[in-house]
Amino acid sequence: MEFGVFDHIDHSGQDLRDFYESRLKMVEAYDRAGFYCYHVAEHHGTPLGMAPSPSLMLAAAIQRTKRIKIGPLVYILPLYNPLRLIDEIAMLDQMSNGRFQLGVGRGTSPLEAAMFNHDHSISPKVYAETLEVILKGLSPETAILNHDGEMLHYKNVPMELKPLQQPYPPVWIGGHSTDGAARTARMGANYVTQDTAEASRPYTDSFRAAWKESQGGKPLPKIGLLRFIVVGDTDAEAEAIAQRAYPKWHDCYDHLFRKAGLVHERGEKTGKFETAFGGENGGVRGIHGSPQTVTRKLQAQAEIAGVNYLVGQFAFGDVTDTEVIKGVELFQRQVMPALKDMNTNM
């Protein structure tokens, strides 16, 4: 079992200058703790995502860390010119000495897409062709990029920048379906879901089956489960932090939909703290408790979901950098060693 970190970089209420510095202090703590990767979300026009340019946030994180891998989860590809993103990816991979991880997706919010005058209904087609162009442009075999597709057309474009990792940085996909998991496996990419452990098991089974069929015996990549995680000295301490912070995060999560007078379907399902964090083995979104409690709950969820990578969202709402860093240190000392030898690659 390996461990990563996810960050919406949702607004905590701090002044922005202090907010960004606080987040970077947290990233330093993740690096010290030995997490595999720091994954950053992309959102626009909402306090859910105060780093709408993941590349800028990751460039700063590179300068504050030494070992942890870094990457978006995900770049919303329909909102990008692929030529510019090819350059950014290559630069980030070179500046990080090959630590960059390429998370990609089509975006889940039609409200955010509309801000860019993008028709969300065609985002699957735009996403697929944009990804094709990006991977082609990053490839060491491509000195001159030519592409004549349905929506994108490039002729004789010099590819002067290349990533350090060959043929390109590892690809990551987030998903919520068996078909999507199988497609990801056939791409040879890593996979992360944030659905319930029970719902996730068919996805991971589908991923493994498609990987075995398509990848010729290669070792499995990361198959991840994403959860809010709050660790305290005691169950009561962790619960108090989570109960205080989660509603603030959820307000950010629902912000655009409330502003538009719409109902966020996923928001409705996870608006109650008891649903998000409650239950013997944790809730549908989060886990809180002492190191022993968090270990037990994460082990149960990982076994049910069949994952080999646990991704913690330690910073959310108004959890302070002091609370995050303390929780991460407890996680490093007591939770990671207890779970690192788990084998769910059946």
Nearest to 107 by CA among 130, 75, 70: 75
155: which 2 tokens? 């002729």
Question: What pLDDT, on a 0 to 100 scale, did the predictor assign at position 345?
Answer: 62
Task: Give the residue carrying structure tokens 């500046």.
Answer: 95
Question: What pLDDT, on a 0 to 100 scale, did the predictor assign at position 262?
Answer: 83
Residue positions counted in the chain: 346
Residue spans of the chain under pLDDT 70:
265-269, 345-346
Three-state SS annotation for 262-315: CCCHHHHHHCCHHHHHCCCCCCCCEEEECHHHHHHHHHHHHHHHCCCEEEEECC
| CA distances from residue 148 to 145, 173, 276, 318, 323 in whole angstroms, order as listed | 10, 25, 46, 47, 51
253: which 2 tokens? 């999560």
Question: What pLDDT, on a 0 to 100 scale, did the predictor assign at position 268?
Answer: 59
| Phi and psi at residue 241, to the nearest 5° | -65, -45
Q: Check: CB of residue 15 under 8 Å from CB of residue 56.
A: no
**Predicted confidence (pLDDT) per residue in 199-216, tens digit:** 999 999 999 999 999 998
The residues, ordered by sequence, that sit 6+ positions from 271 with a Cβ below 8 Å of its Cβ are: 250, 254
Structural domains in the chain?
A: 2-339 (3.20.20.30)
Nearest to 127 by CA among 170, 75, 165, 86: 75
228: amino acid identity, one letter:
F
142: which 2 tokens? 């491509």
The Cα–Cα gap between 275 and 43 comes to 24
Kindly report whether the global pTM for this prediction surpasses the value 0.85.
Answer: yes
Nearest to 183 by CA among 254, 269, 124, 112: 124
198: which 2 tokens? 């029970």
User: For 119, how many CA atoms within 13 A lie in the half-sphere containing its CB?
Assistant: 4
Question: What pLDDT, on a 0 to 100 scale, did the predictor assign at position 267?
Answer: 57
Question: What pLDDT, on a 0 to 100 scale, did the predictor assign at position 71?
Answer: 98
The residues, ordered by sequence, that sit 6+ positions from 66 with a Cβ below 8 Å of its Cβ are: 31
Partnered with residue 37 across adjacent β-strands are 69
